[in-house]
Amino acid sequence: MSDICVAKHAGFCPGVSRAVHLIEQAILDGKGPIYCLGELIHNRIFNESLQARGVRFIEPQDIPSLPGDALVFIRAHGATKDVYQTLADNGLEYIDATCPYVQKIHSIAASATDATFIIIGDKDHPEVQGIVSAAPGKTAVYGSFAELQEAFAGKEPTDEPAILAVQTTFNTDEWKKCQKFIKYLYTHLKICDTICSATENRQREVRTLAAENDLTVVVGSRHSSNTVKLYRIAKEVGGDAILIETSADLAACRARIRAANSILITAGASAPGSIIQEVIKTMADIRNEEVSFAELLEASFKTLHTGDKVTGIVSAVSASELKVDLGTKHTGILVYDEITDESGIDLTEKYHVGDPIDVVCIKFSDSDGTVQLSSKRLDVAKHWDAIKAAHESGEILTGVVKEVIRKEDTYSGVVVTKGTSRVFIPASQSGIAKGESLDPLKGQKVSFKVIDINEDRKRAVGSIKAVQRAEKKLAEEEFYKTIEVGQKFVGTVRAIMNYGAFVNIGPVDGMVHISELSWGRLRPPAEVLTIGQKLNVFIKSFDPETKRISLGYKTPESDPWTIFTNNYAIGDVCDVKIVSLMPFGAFAEIIPELDGLIHNTQIAAKPVANPASVLNIGDKVTVKIVGIDLEAKRINLSIKALLEPEEAPVEEAPAEEAAE
Ligand code: SF4
């Protein structure tokens, strides 16, 4: 047995692997001349091999002087907004190999429109500079926990909103300390843990394995931040550690290599596999290990097992399958059925060479050097975990209604898919009124809460109604915070009762009492209002505790006497409607809720004994206003006055015959 072991997570990370694939492809396709913004990876030998194939390394300030046919290559670290703008201004074509993990942090930074964007990382690192440039507002960069402490010494906590992220390759322990510190300073802080899992795994592994070995050999560049961090961790927890760029550097450390009983070899994210293998071989030579190079190499390759979850890089795409580079000697095969259950998906459109992809190893075949992979099974587990987490936390999920379940005319519910998980929403929880069709929900994107799960059967039950209830409650609470007595609304009549009407004003209903609905005698609400009618109302009183709102309808401006006196005077002629007949005359409506009296003596040229012999209820007649008594609230009208050329003196109506 060799006492040299190779870390499982040594070498190219998915982001670097993707960038390398993309530039190799561009060289093969004869594109160019290719100008890479900064060195593609922190590895001199690899970069020199690219230069030998025509790739030139440039700085952002060189872009304006590039030839028109230049192809600019943006490496995994990404670039600043200014770089993209300069490329556009100069009409240059470019390949963007920004790592998807880094792109995600650009999006987080871009979302900080109303918050300070804080990032923990090296302010001079191109990845951090690119991320910071994506933030639209205030930004702050802190390089370490010590820097944070110094910056905030003596400062009081603030409720200013802030978003906190971290450079992908930052030290995980230092990041934990920074988070703990900063969350007490910003009471409205959203923390986004953006340390890349490849980095995290690599660092975690070294922390464990370096402590178990006498010597740790870290392969990578001294300019690579993740390589230097590996070296520091190994020094902290292990006995001895060496940082080398190539196998040639081992010559200076022969004594330490020979003296160590056990050695761990790890490598930064930008160390090519060929260099790692050369280091293994040279070390075995130095130690005169009996184990052969082939065995060591084999040992370094055989790091995956059935059930292992890993991020690979798509290396070929066809309509029926993907080939995935896992960084092992086995070629990963991901067939259509292990990607999705949906039919008709064009894999060549959805996936591209160089894309990172998360997969699980399901079957190894040493005879043909392949490993069968599945991304679907990983998704199933991931989505079920998300459903379980949402059940525990009460988080609101969104999904699309795929099926409506019904038996004959009875709807039992709908099925919503969330990724690969299916959530059943019973009809009673659908938010649709009992007995109504659930068909309109089909194909709709809905928000729901998970209200029950069956872990064994991987079944979940959801509720759209619970979300609607919660949203309504929230809206009501907000509404009560903003309203005040006297505030006016245009409401909608929702229900009519004997004692008044419920009127909807936004998220709540208020009650308009019967006494508010008429100025004269009380009239049954159903006589005055109809369902759906718009009504100008105002808040008379409200109680946020009991959730009761009393609405007013009558205002001085809506008083019919105010309207009448503002618009009519004695001598005016108007059209009125006969509303009731009395032995002494007929009452006629001048404007809603205000009637005047046409006395028997004023109905025709000569007095009539019985008004019903001349007029009918509902008749429309033209009258002259011949008397207004504001104190007694009486209006006298006359048809006769319009029949005679000369107005005859008018007798005041007897008091007991007063108009309303
Ligand atoms: S270390 Fe992580 S974030 Fe950085 S390039 Fe590699 S995969 Fe992307």
Q: How many Å lie between the centroid of ligand 1 and the Cα of residue 215?
A: 26
Q: Is the CB of 14 under 6 A from ligand 1?
A: yes
Ligand 1 centroid to residue 72 C-alpha, Å:
20
- 43, 99, 194, 204: residue to mutate for ligand 1 pocket, most atoms within 8 A of CB: 99
Give residue-wise pLDDT tens across range 51-81. 988 999 999 999 999 999 999 999 999 999 9
Residue 483: how many CB atoms within 10 A of its CB? Answer: 18
Q: Between 21 and 119, whose confidence is greater? A: 119
CATH fold of 101-195 reads Cobalt-precorrin-4 Transmethylase; domain 1 (3.40.1010)
The residue assigned the tokens 């609607």 is 468
Which residues, in sequence order, are bridge partners of residue 396?
449
SS (H, E, C) 55-77: CEEECHHHHHHCCCCCEEEECCC
For residue 356 and ligand 1, the question of a CB distance below 6 A is answered with no
- What distance in Å separates the CA atoms of residue 58 and residue 44, rounded to the nearest whole number? 15
Which of the pair, 369 or 128, is modelled with greater confidence?
128
pLDDT at 295 over 70: no
Would you tell me which CATH number, out of the four given (3.30.450.30, 2.40.50.140, 3.40.640.10, 2.40.420.20), belongs to the domain 483-558? 2.40.50.140
- Beta-bridge mates of residue 573: 624
> CA 144 to CA 137: how far, in whole Å?
22
Give SS3 for 578: strand
13 CB near ligand 1 (under 6 Å): yes
**CB-ligand 1 contact for 275 (6 Å cutoff):** no
Domain extent listing, the chain = 101-195, 206-298, 309-374, 379-406+414-469, 483-558, 560-657
Cα of 168 vs centre of ligand 1, distance in Å, is 7
Given a contact cutoff of 8 angstroms between Cβ atoms, the answer to whether 476 and 434 are in contact is no
User: What residues have CB less than 8 Å from 266, skipping those under 6 apart?
Assistant: 6, 7, 9, 10, 202, 205, 206, 209, 216, 217, 218, 219, 230, 234
**pLDDT value of position 651:** 53
Q: What is the pLDDT of residues 434-450, one digit of tens each?
A: 888 999 999 999 999 99
The answer to whether the beta carbons of residues 619 and 586 sit under 8 Å apart is: no
Tell me which of 2.40.110.10, 2.10.109.10, 2.40.50.140, 3.20.20.140 is the CATH number of domain 309-374: 2.40.50.140
Average pLDDT over residues 470-487: 90
- What is residue 298's predicted lDDT score, i.e. its pLDDT? 53
- The most confident of 207-221, 280-294, 304-318, by mean pLDDT: 207-221
Tokens 């995994």 sit on residue: 76
Angle at alpha carbon of residue 82, lines to 32 and 59, rounded to 5°: 50
Distance between CA atoms of residues 145 and 179, nearest Å: 9
pLDDT averaged over the chain?
87
Residue with tokens 């520091």: 232
3-class secondary structure per residue, 258-280: HHCCCEEEEECCCCCHHHHHHHH
Residue 40: CB atoms within 10 Å: 23
User: From ligand 1's centre to the CA of 99, what distance in Å?
Assistant: 6
SS3 162: strand
pLDDT tens, 634-655? 999 999 999 866 555 555 555 4
Supply the residue whose CA is at minimum distance from atom 7 of ligand 1. Answer: 15
Q: Looking at residue 168, what DSSP letter applies?
A: T
CB of 169 within 6 A of ligand 1: the answer is yes
| Domain 379-406+414-469 and domain 560-657 have a common topology | yes
Could you tell me where the beta strands, DSSP code E, fall in 13-53?
34-37
In degrees rounded to 5, what are phi and psi of residue 221? -90, 150
User: Does ligand 1 come within 6 angstroms of the Cβ of 168?
Assistant: yes
May I ask the CATH class of domain 206-298? alpha beta
Mean pLDDT of 37-52: 86
Please state the CATH superfamily assignment of the domain spanning residues 379-406+414-469 in this structure. Answer: Nucleic acid-binding proteins (2.40.50.140)
Query: What's residue 656's pLDDT?
Result: 44
Strand, helix or coil for residue 480: helix
Q: Is the distance from the beta carbon of residue 101 to the nearest atom of ligand 1 less than 6 Å?
A: yes
pLDDT, tens digit (0-9, with 9 covering 90-100), for 538-548: 999 999 888 89
Instruction: Give the residue-averaged pLDDT of 380-390.
Output: 85
- The minimum-distance atom of ligand 1 relative to the CA of 226 is 1
Task: Kindly state the percentage of the chain with pLDDT values over 90.
Answer: 46
* Residue among 219, 301, 303, 213 at smallest CA distance from 264: 213
What's the whole-number mean pLDDT along residues 348-377?
A: 84
d(CA 440, CA 507): 24
Average pLDDT (162-174) is 90
Mean pLDDT of the 573-593 span: 93
Nearest alpha carbon, ligand 1 atom 2: 196
Q: Which fold has domain 560-657?
A: OB fold (Dihydrolipoamide Acetyltransferase, E2P) (2.40.50)
For the ranges 84-88, 240-244, 293-297, 428-432, the lowest mean pLDDT is seen at 293-297
* Substitution site in 20, 39, 169 for ligand 1 pocket (most atoms within 8 Å of beta carbon): 169
What gap in Å lies between CA 477 and CA 480, rounded to an integer?
5
Asked if the model's pLDDT at residue 660 lies above 50, the reply is: no
Is residue 302 scored above 50 in pLDDT?
no
pTM, rounded to two decimals: 0.47
Following CA atoms 605, 611, 613, 619 in sequence, which dihedral angle do they give, to the nearest 10 degrees?
Answer: 90
Q: Cβ atoms within 10 A of the Cβ of 149, count?
A: 13
Active site residue 127: yes
For 134, residues 6+ apart whose C-beta sits below 8 A from its C-beta are 81, 106, 107, 109, 110
* Residue 18 CA to ligand 1 centre (angstroms): 10
pLDDT for res 658:
39
Query: Is the confidence at residue 293, as pLDDT, over 50?
Result: no
Q: Are 507 and 472 in contact (CB under 8 A)?
A: yes
Protein residue with least CA distance to atom 6, ligand 1: 15
CB distance 357 to 314 below 8 Å: yes
**Both structure tokens of 534:** 């718009």
Task: Ligand 1, residue 77: give the atom nearest the CA.
Answer: 5
Q: How far away, in angstroms, is 269 Cα from ligand 1 center?
A: 7
Give per-residue pLDDT as tens, 93-133. Answer: 999 999 988 998 999 999 999 999 999 999 999 999 999 99
Atom of ligand 1 nearest to the CA of 197: 2
Nearest CA to ligand 1 atom 5: 15
**1 pLDDT higher than 80:** no
Q: Which positions ≥6 away from 101 have C-beta within 8 Å? A: 15, 168, 194, 196
Tell me which amino acid residue 123 is. Answer: K
198 lines ligand 1 (CB under 6 A): yes
Query: How far does the centroid of ligand 1 lie from the alpha carbon of residue 126, in Å?
Result: 13
Q: Does the Cβ of 99 fall within 6 Å of ligand 1?
A: yes
Give the pairing type, strands 71-74 and 34-37: parallel
DSSP characters over 365-410: ETTTTEEEEESHHHHHHHHHHHHHHHHHHT-EEEEEEEEEEEETTE
Closest CA to 98 of 121, 81, 82, 75: 75
Question: Could you give the angle at the alpha carbon of 188 between the alpha carbons of 182 and 190, nearest 5°?
Answer: 70
pLDDT for residue 659: 40
Assign 483 a pLDDT band (cuts: 50, 70, 90). Answer: very high
Gap between the Cα atoms of 318 and 346, Å rounded: 9
Say which of 48, 93, 127, 477 is annotated catalytic.
127
Per-residue pLDDT at 95: 94
Q: Is the pLDDT of residue 140 over 80?
A: yes
Q: Is the pLDDT of residue 50 over 60?
A: yes
Q: Which atom of ligand 1 is nearest to the CA of 198?
A: 2
Cα 16 to middle of ligand 1, angstroms? 6
CB 102 near ligand 1, within 6 Å: yes
Min mean pLDDT across 491-505, 545-559, 566-580, 638-652 is at 638-652
431 CA distance to ligand 1 centroid (A)? 44
Find out whether the beta carbon of 199 lies less than 6 Å from any atom of ligand 1. Answer: yes
